[in-house]
């Protein structure tokens, strides 16, 4: 019988890509998604009971309060979900592979091109909760932290990806302000999923950065999306993060990814390179075309 990999946050953006791509990239695993509808990960007795009956052989932990704004508005809830629920899961998974999805938002964004060894200094609640959770996870040498990046994808309800946010704003007849001085190395969700499955198969633990090959401003990201999302045409407004009304925003979260790249069977794509390589319409722009 194949070993069982449990994916938390299964109804979320990246969880969905992990589940849909499991047959393609994780054929040696039996994969089960765990959504909040099935169990709230802050209900520790319920989680313990579910794990006792499911008996997974590995856990990929995607569940989180993943919006910076939501975390700023309710830090206690953010800590409960992003730190305490993660710590409980990691303790329950002490004797098995555990992959925790963290974020480049653990950095202050002043430097850019961060390596895993660079000092993390989060400037918002979301980043702080991710860093606290990382420290708990990495206390177990069998466990893995993956700091990922701005992820483009298509979610179940069309409300989880930054691309969907932008298109929803445009379709509502509003302009989309895109910062020309905020830099990210975005990846398609399909590439994130493929890398996570390959890393699980490698059995490597520790801290890894997982980002795209191109450092782009939010404005450049928007321009790259225009040919694929006509609703954005005429709606993109170039702005500066200096005028952002809200939680402090890290300016440059570009990540160096040589460490994980050395383990992967495929090159981590640049965002514009990915889009340039896609031709067929209709299929999911953010997943690998089926072989
Ligand atoms: N998307 C991105 O750009 C990036 C994401 N990440 C990280 O990657 C991971 C996956 O991100 P993504 O898929 O985009 O996030 P989503 O917000 O799309 O998915 C998160 C999932 O977690 C679930 N969840 C939240 N709270 C609980 C809870 N108490 N119990 C059980 N499940 C819960 C949500 O359930 P429900 O659907 O019911 O709300 C949701 O399905 C997250 O840890 C995120 O912080 C890091 C960097 C970039
Ligand atoms: C910065 C910016 C955001 N937005 C929209 C899209 C975006 O999804 C939404 C919310 O902005 P946020 O900063 O919360 O989202 P976003 O910048 O997409 O942050 C993401 O960054 C990565 C690294 C993560 O870790 C994710 O979990 C998520 O926090 O606002 C714009 O339209 N224009 C912009 O210039």
The per-residue pLDDT for range 81-133, each reduced to its tens digit, is 999 999 999 999 999 999 999 999 999 999 999 999 999 999 999 999 999 99
Enter the ipTM.
Answer: 0.94
Tell me how far apart the alpha carbons of residues 65 and 80 are, in angstroms, rounded to a whole number.
9
Nearest to 63 by CA among 29, 45, 40: 40
Rounded Cα distance between 232 and 225, Å, is: 8
Whether the CB of 101 sits within 6 Å of ligand 1? yes
Residue nearest to atom 35 of ligand 2 (CA): 178
Tokens 């790259």 found at = 224
State the Cα–Cα distance between residues 101 and 60, nearest whole angstrom. 8
Q: Which ligand is nearest to the CA of 130?
A: 1
Q: Which residues contact 260 (CB under 8 A, 6 or more apart)?
A: 146, 195, 199, 208, 209, 210, 268
Record: fold of 4-276? Rossmann fold (3.40.50)
What does the pLDDT look like over 15-38, one tens digit per residue?
Answer: 999 999 999 999 999 999 999 999
Ligand closest to the CA atom of residue 88: 1
Catalytic residue among 126, 179, 183, 288: 126
Is residue 281 pLDDT above 70, yes or no?
Answer: no
Dihedral of alpha carbons 9, 11, 15, 20, sign: positive
Beta strands in the chain (DSSP E): 4-8, 30-34, 58-61, 98-103, 143-148, 151-152, 176-179, 183-184, 187-188, 206-210, 216-217, 236-239
Are 225 and 153 in contact, with CB atoms under 8 Å apart?
Answer: no
Tell me which ligand sits closest to the C-alpha of residue 162: 2
Please confirm, yes or no, whether 126 is among the known catalytic residues: yes
- pTM assigned to the model: 0.97
Can you tell me which residue has the tokens 């206390």? 139
> Measured in angstroms, how far is the CA atom of residue 234 from the centroid of ligand 1?
31
260 lines ligand 1 (CB under 6 A): no
Cβ proximity of 185 and 235 under 8 Å: no
Are the beta carbons of 115 and 256 closer than 8 angstroms?
yes
Dihedral angle at the C-alpha atoms of 115, 119, 125, 129, nearest 10 degrees? 80
- Closest ligand 2 atom number to CA of residue 176: 32
Name which residue sits closest to atom 14 of ligand 1, judged by CA: 13
* β-strand partners of 255: 114
Q: Please report, rounded to a whole number, the percentage of residues in the chain having pLDDT higher than 90.
A: 95
Q: Is the pLDDT score of 228 beyond 70?
A: yes
Instruction: List, for residues 147-172, the tens digit of each pLDDT value.
Output: 999 999 999 999 999 999 999 999 99
> What are the beta bridge partners of residue 59?
6, 98
Q: Is the pLDDT of residue 291 over 70?
A: no
Count of beta carbons in the 10 Å neighbourhood of residue 158? 12
> Quick one: tokens of 271?
């965002």
Q: Which residues pair with 118 in a beta bridge?
A: none
**What are the extents of the domains in the chain?**
4-276
């Amino acid at each position: 019988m194949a070993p069982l990999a449990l994916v938390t946050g299964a109804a979320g953006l990246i969880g969905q890509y992990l589940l849909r791509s499991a047959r393609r990239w994780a054929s040696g695993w039996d994969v089960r998604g765990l959504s909040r509808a099935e169990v709230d990960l802050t209900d520790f007795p319920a989680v313990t009971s579910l794990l006792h009956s499911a008996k997974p052989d590995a856990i990929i932990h995607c569940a989180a309060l993943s919006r910076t704004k939501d975390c700023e508005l309710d830090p206690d809830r953010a800590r409960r979900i992003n730190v305490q629920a993660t710590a409980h899961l990691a303790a329950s998974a002490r004797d098995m592979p555990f992959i925790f999805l963290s974020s480049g938002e653990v950095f202050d964004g002043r430097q850019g091109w961060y390596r895993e060894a660079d000092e993390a200094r989060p400037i918002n609640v979301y980043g702080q909760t991710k860093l606290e959770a990382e420290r708990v996870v990495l206390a177990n040498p069998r466990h893995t932290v993956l700091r990922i990046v701005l992820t483009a994808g298509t979610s179940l309800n069309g409300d989880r990806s930054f691309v969907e946010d932008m298109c929803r704003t445009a379709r509502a007849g509003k302009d989309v302000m895109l910062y020309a001085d905020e830099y990210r190395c975005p990846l398609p969700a399909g590439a994130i999923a493929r890398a996570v499955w390959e890393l699980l198969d490698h059995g490597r633990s520790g801290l890894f950065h997982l980002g795209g090959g191109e450092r782009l401003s939010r404005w450049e990201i928007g321009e790259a999306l225009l040919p694929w999302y006509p609703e954005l045409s005429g709606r993109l407004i170039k702005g500066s993060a200096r005028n952002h009304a809200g939680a402090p925003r890290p300016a440059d979260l570009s990540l160096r990814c040589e460490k994980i790249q050395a383990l992967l069977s495929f090159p981590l794509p640049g965002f514009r390179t990915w889009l340039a390589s896609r031709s067929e319409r209709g299929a999911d722009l953010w997943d690998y075309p089926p072989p």
